[in-house]
């Protein structure tokens, strides 16, 4: 959808600016997807949940490790932390790809600026920004739903406390209390 929209926007431009504009859009959309992955995995780590794909990888690897002769108690202990470590490693790998894309985006912008008037460059970048915003919002909604499914429904509170009207009862000072009743008051 995005590629069709950017292609139809770039059709009237000269071929060289058309191809560079399309390359720039592709790089920026790829970076947006990677940033969405980083954000999602990071939010999963914060929420202490493991996305289904990571859980499947973890289960598969754990099975193979347990059936191998090299599986030890030490390895079993490391397995408890394995999914989160994998998630952190993947975030770092995606960040490296994102940084590489930043360099390519800058290079593409420079090339585009050399062959096109600034008005044309601004027009192309504005359209890409508009489409990137659509993509970001779409991905954010999808990832938020996935995260909510992983976390589960919010804990329900006691219905008796949902009403903000709280009644405070004070006990008269001369009322005799048992030891267990006094322990609650401390």
Burial 140-156 (b: 16+ CB within 10 A, else e): eeebeebbeebeeeeee
Return the pLDDT at 70. 52
Cα torsion 7, 11, 13, 16: sign: positive
**pLDDT: which is higher, 172 or 177:** 177
Per residue in 145-161, pLDDT (tens digit) is: 999 988 887 666 555 54
Predicted confidence (pLDDT) at residue 110 exceeds the cutoff of 80: yes
Return the pLDDT at 169. 47
pLDDT interval class at 122 (50, 70, 90):
very high
Predicted confidence (pLDDT) at residue 14 exceeds the cutoff of 90: no
CA distances (Å), origin 131, targets 100, 109, 138: 21, 17, 11
Report the share of the chain in percent with pLDDT over 90: 43
């Amino acid at each position: 959808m995005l590629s069709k929209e950017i292609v139809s926007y770039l059709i009237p431009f000269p071929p060289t600016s058309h191809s560079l504009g399309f390359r720039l859009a592709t790089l920026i959309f790829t970076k947006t997807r990677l940033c969405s992955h980083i954000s999602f995995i990071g939010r999963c780590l914060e929420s202490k949940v493991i996305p289904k794909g990571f859980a499947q990888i973890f289960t598969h690897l754990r099975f193979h490790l347990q059936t191998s002769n090299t599986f030890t108690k030490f390895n079993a202990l490391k397995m408890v932390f394995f999914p989160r470590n994998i998630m952190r490693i993947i975030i770092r790998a995606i960040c490296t790809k994102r940084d590489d894309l930043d360099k390519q985006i800058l290079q593409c912008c420079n090339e585009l600026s050399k062959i096109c008037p600034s008005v044309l460059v601004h027009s192309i970048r504005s359209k890409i920004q508009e489409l990137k915003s659509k993509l970001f919002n779409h991905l954010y909604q999808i990832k938020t739903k996935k995260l909510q499914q992983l976390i589960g429904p919010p804990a329900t509170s006691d219905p008796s406390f949902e009403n903000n009207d709280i009644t405070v009862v004070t006990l008269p000072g001369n009322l005799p209390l048992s030891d267990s009743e006094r322990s609650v008051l401390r």
